[in-house]
Amino acid sequence: MEDIDGLKEKILAFMKEQADRPLSLKELARNLGIKRDALGRFKKLLRQMEADASVILTRTGHYALASKLNLVAGELICHPDGFGFVRPESGEGEDVFINPRKLSGAMHGDKIVARVDGYKSGGRREGSIVRVVKRAHKTVVGRFERARGFSVVIPSDERLLDRIIILPRDARGAEHGMIVEAEITRWPSKSQGAAGRIIETLGAPDDPDVEAGVILKKYGLPSRFPAQVTQDVKSIPMSVEEADVRGRVDLRGKRIITIDGETAKDFDDAVFVERTPGGYRLLVSIADVSNYVKEGTPVDLEAYERGTSVYFPDRCIPMLPEALSNGICSLNPNVDRLTMTAEIDFNGHGDPVKKRFYESVIKSAERMTYTKVKKLLAGEDAELNVRYAHIAEDLKLMEELAGKLTERRFEAGSIDFDLPEPQIIIDLAGNVEDIVRSERNVAHRLIEEFMLAANKAVASDFSADRLPFLYRIHETPDEESVNEFKEFIAGIGLHLKTQGGTAPKAFQCVLEEVKGTPAERLVNHVLLRSMKQAVYSAVNRGHFGLAFEDYAHFTSPIRRYPDLVVHRLLKLLISKTYSAKERERMEEALPSIATHTSNRERKAMEAEREVVDLKKCQFMKDKAGETFDGFISGVTSFGLFVEMKDYFVEALVHVSALNDDYYVFDPKRHCLTGERTKKVFRLADPLRVRITRVDIERRRIDAVLDDGTPADSKPERKKGRRAAK
């Protein structure tokens, strides 16, 4: 039987294009030519497809596509106002609007099946939930409130619309107003609400550590490792012995260095560049995590479940225990470390001409930081020049090669977004001291180019050999998004050349055209929103943003599980042990690994974003009443988001606070326009605002446009009955 991913696509194609009615399992197997000895795997695949709602099993035991039954399968996205949308699993068609009365007990994040009942004005589909396929939440974090005869937990996530009823026997001593975690014991339905029991009291709602803990619970991020994992790690040696080095290429004599941030403790990658008669040789040596984390062990299963390390401003939630991530797997300076090396030869123009991959051992010569490398390359610090004289020429050669790799990449059309990121400065007491613009200097770009080159080199080998592999893909933006972007930039005098199809080069040209102009940030922002999200996939669909046909994640196995998988696959390739049996196993396993790790990455990103928002609110809490200069960073139907120039913090100016007119939202032009005054608020427009309220629980900062009135001035209150009215 062919690979699982290919067979799944074949089943879906047959049911979409040829099946004229729902079919039984036997009918499907017969039509698809499934042999008797493969019937077991075929049944298992159909059960998986039913579980993820790719196909629907009818009450009569027949399989059909949701779309053929006027159904849509997908994830339910709820809005705090009570309604929801179903995002189709297939990616086909618009979201389906779900009226609050038709949620039928489904909760935000659930995988559901909805029936399309009709169309709202404007052609938007409207429907009702008919089945919950998979629940997204086993527990809920929220505020505990006592009522007469029972209590409730009000979820911290406003998208979870149902309050959880807690009977007295299930309260476990929780106090009114405390933040708790409740296990759901009864799911909501059409006729009754959700019920649960308290499993942990986290603390007071205004405690900063409790707030961060709420976010961890909300996104299902574990804060500690299970005892079995801790025990498993104890059996792993914490130093490299000579026996470990046998059979590896010895690179300990080369001046290999690591370059990371000032606060980094886990060093995945080390680099070295030397000049060759034909150009350059780049060595990218990556921590050989797979040597220590064996497939199927407790530490491996926990790493898979986590999927990725999560980075908050004041802490890291690591994928691997610290003994591994900061210890034996980290490429610390002046100690032997086991690595996987990508060796790539480039010609004088920066084109790759030869490559090989091998298991190696290194001894990092220096632990460098981005700031130090920048200063060394610029000659800004005489003391540093003396201290690192032994690697000064190596760094210059690295800069030279990286510059040529950047040129080659941009010639191919790689898109380089230039949007500033906030860096949150935490003091020794754990409080937010400042929020500044994160610097991206020459050292960042140097490492970025070398990692891209190594990732691309590994992926292209597997692609050429057509071996099962885990790719990092970024699909071409859909036609509607491209047309909206074209329409938007046409309004500011720009043109997107898309003759013969959409190519990344066309977008890059637009970004180059606005570089250094007032419209740069605006165009970068709108283009980024037009793009699809990069994900992991067992099917190679290329990386549109980078303009690469083949791409993977290979360079960060300490903090990303897909990289660890790629290392294991690369070892099979190097040792020539990628057998037919191993291929079959990987064909079956990789699609689910891709889906799971993509989901975990998305959860981590959402959690990181929310913690940053929390820290921003904590920082701004004592600044209510103050005024700030800023610019419009977001426009929605309910108001304007204004980013303050000083702190990289956004405040919301609600549309109700724009009281000089009624404003109409134009999503294509990203602006609000006054009906009477024709006054326009658009992205990147400068504004001065006054902070009116900081709501830490909702992670929201409210503001009004500053009209010059002192913050503490109020209109004189009139006396008498008319004033009371």
| All domains of the chain in start order, with CATH | 4-66 (1.10.10.10), 70-134 (2.40.50.140), 139-218 (2.40.50.700), 248-460+597-605 (no CATH), 479-531 (no CATH), 624-705 (2.40.50.140)
What are the DSSP calls for 23-68, one per residue?
B-HHHHHHHHT--GGGHHHHHHHHHHHHHTTSSEE-TTS-EE-GGG
pLDDT of 64 higher than 70: yes
How many other C-beta atoms are found inside a 10 Å radius of the C-beta of residue 134? 12
The answer to whether the beta carbons of residues 179 and 156 sit under 8 Å apart is yes
How far is Cα 114 from Cα 104, in angstroms, rounded to an integer? 10
Predicted TM-score (pTM) of the model is 0.82
Strands 627-636, 535-537: pairing kind: unpaired
Q: What is the pLDDT of residue 217?
A: 84
More confident residue, 30 or 690: 690
pLDDT of 712 higher than 60: no
- Reported as type and span, the H/E element at residue 442 is helix 442-465
Q: Which two tokens stand for residue 329?
A: 């797997």
The answer to whether the beta carbons of residues 543 and 551 sit under 8 Å apart is yes
Q: What percent of the chain has pLDDT over 90?
A: 58
pLDDT band at 713 (very low <50, low <70, confident <90, very high): very low
Using one digit for the tens of pLDDT, what is the confidence trace for 494-540?
888 876 667 898 899 999 888 888 788 778 888 888 899 999 999 99
- Reported as type and span, the H/E element at residue 298 is helix 298-306
- Reported as type and span, the H/E element at residue 75 is strand 71-78
Mean pLDDT over 194-200 rounds to 95
Q: Which two tokens stand for residue 582?
A: 């191993």
More confident residue, 131 or 491: 131
Using one digit for the tens of pLDDT, what is the confidence trace for 24-40?
888 888 888 888 888 88
Q: What is the pLDDT of residue 714?
A: 40
Backbone angles phi, psi at 316, to 5 degrees: -125, 135
pLDDT of 718 higher than 70: no
How many other C-beta atoms are found inside a 10 Å radius of the C-beta of residue 219? 21
Give whole-number Cα distances, 653 to 3, 67, 397, 695, in Å.
Answer: 53, 41, 50, 14
Q: What is the pLDDT of residue 3?
A: 57
Mean pLDDT over 444-458 rounds to 97
Mean pLDDT over 645-656 rounds to 90
pLDDT of 12 higher than 90: no
Q: DSSP secondary-structure letter at 526? A: H
The answer to whether the beta carbons of residues 696 and 617 sit under 8 Å apart is yes
| Residue the block writes with tokens 């658009």 | 682
Least confident of 422-436, 450-464, 603-617: 422-436
Q: What is the pLDDT of residue 1?
A: 47
Q: What is the pLDDT of residue 566?
A: 98
Least confident of 87-96, 325-334, 484-493: 87-96
- Reported as type and span, the H/E element at residue 182 is strand 179-186
Contacts of 409 by beta carbon, 8 Å cutoff, 6+ apart: 449, 452, 546, 547
pLDDT of 562 higher than 70: yes
pLDDT band at 191 (very low <50, low <70, confident <90, very high): confident
Q: What is the pLDDT of residue 711?
A: 43
Using one digit for the tens of pLDDT, what is the confidence trace for 369-412?
999 999 999 998 999 999 999 999 999 999 999 999 999 999 99
Q: What is the pLDDT of residue 725?
A: 30
Look at residue 625 and give its three-state secondary structure. Answer: coil
pLDDT of 427 higher than 80: yes
pLDDT of 303 higher than 90: yes
pLDDT of 690 higher than 50: yes
The answer to whether the beta carbons of residues 3 and 580 sit under 8 Å apart is no
pLDDT of 4 higher than 70: no
- Alpha-carbon Rg for the chain, nearest whole angstrom, is 28
Helix 520-530 × helix 504-514 angle, to 10°: 160
Using one digit for the tens of pLDDT, what is the confidence trace for 278-300?
999 999 999 999 999 999 999 99
Average pLDDT value for the chain: 89
